[in-house]
Amino acid sequence: MGKRCTEMTIVSIKTGTGTELRRIELSDGSFFSFKTGYLPPVFTDESLYTPGTAEGREISAGEEAGFRFASACLRAERAALRLIARAEQTVSGLGRKLEQRGNKPLCVRAVVSRLAGTGLVDDRRFARLWLETRLGRRRDSPRRLLSALRSRGISREDAGTALQSVLNDETERALLGRFMEKQRHLRGFCAAEIRSETDVLRSVRFKLRSEGFSSGVIQRFFDEQEDGA
């Protein structure tokens, strides 16, 4: 924004739907909406954006920039809410999509932080729902599921918490069974090898533990294999 020749004044300011929403008209003829929650911390004087007290007030270039920043944040928030309405979002994924749509990084950070604070964006909820849709049909291991969540921007802690919330003995045993169906090279042992702790069997157990399966579920799997042999 270039240097201003005259002081900018507030012509009118009105309250929109919701206590935070404002509609402002400036003396240069511009109109735009903003949310007071997105105004920078320097806006300590509420009379500057309160109908009935703001009209006719001169504002500095910094204050004008603050109003316009809050307006840009409102546009980014509306875009974010449209994305959330379509599908569950992660914090990092939502931020990336907003920036790809031309929103400035500072606005994106403010919007995503605000939406996360209200619970509209929740990485743990996303991770839990994502896992629930895959546990019944994918042939993955716990380690690979965690890796997939991490690749989506979910923190290690949140991914681990979500996995613990959806995995119990039954769901983990079912996951292990499907994983073994996929890993054909791990099924090259016979009933005799199951009954004797051979190097092959120990190698398979080690592989399964490295994939994140618990020792108890692994033992249950082999016990079932031996009973069915």
For the segment 169-212, what is each residue's pLDDT rounded down to a tens digit?
A: 999 999 998 888 876 555 544 444 444 556 677 788 888 999 99
Domain match, 189 and 151 both: no
- Higher-pLDDT residue of 190 and 215 is 215
For the chain, the average pLDDT equals 88
Domain match, 92 and 137 both: no
- CATH code for position 156: 1.10.10
pLDDT of 123 reads 96
pLDDT of 196 reads 54
Domain match, 13 and 113 both: yes
Q: For 96, what's the count of Cα atoms within 13 Å in the CB-facing half-sphere?
A: 7
Closest CA to 25 of 39, 5, 9, 43: 9
For 207, phi then psi, to 5°, come to -60, -45
Q: Find the mean pLDDT for residues 122-150.
A: 91
Is pLDDT above 70 for 227? no
Place of tokens 């735009």: 32
Of 87, 103, 118, which closes a domain?
118
Segments in 87-154 forming alpha helices (H) = 91-100, 105-118, 123-135, 142-151
Q: What is the Cα 34 distance to its own chain's centre?
A: 25
DSSP 216: H
Whole-number Cα distances in Å, 174 to 19, 53, 209, 218 = 51, 66, 16, 11
Domain match, 36 and 112 both: yes
pLDDT of 197 reads 58
Domain match, 153 and 56 both: no
What band does 134 get if pLDDT is binned at 50, 70 and 90?
A: confident
How many beta carbons lie within 10 A of that of residue 69, not counting itself?
A: 18
- Which of the residue ranges 47-61, 141-155, 212-226 would you say has the lowest mean pLDDT? 212-226
Domain match, 42 and 134 both: no
Separation of alpha carbons 109 and 98, rounded Å: 10
pTM tops 0.85 = no
Is pLDDT above 80 for 136? no
pLDDT of 221 reads 86
Closest CA to 33 of 45, 44, 18: 18
Separation of alpha carbons 131 and 11, rounded Å: 53
Domain match, 45 and 90 both: yes
How many independent structural domains does the chain possess? Answer: 3
Domain match, 193 and 212 both: yes
Q: Which domain holds residue 126?
A: 122-167
Of 77, 102, 118, which closes a domain?
118
Separation of alpha carbons 140 and 58, rounded Å: 62
With b for 16 or more beta-carbon neighbours within 10 A and e for fewer, the 130-145 pattern comes to bbeeebeebebbbeeb
Q: Which amino acid is at 219?
A: Q
Q: Which two tokens stand for residue 178?
A: 């499907």
Q: Find the mean pLDDT for residues 7-35.
A: 93
Domain match, 64 and 147 both: no
What band does 11 get if pLDDT is binned at 50, 70 and 90?
A: very high
Residue pair 15/46 in contact (Cβ under 8 Å)? The answer is no
Q: Which two tokens stand for residue 145?
A: 């599921």
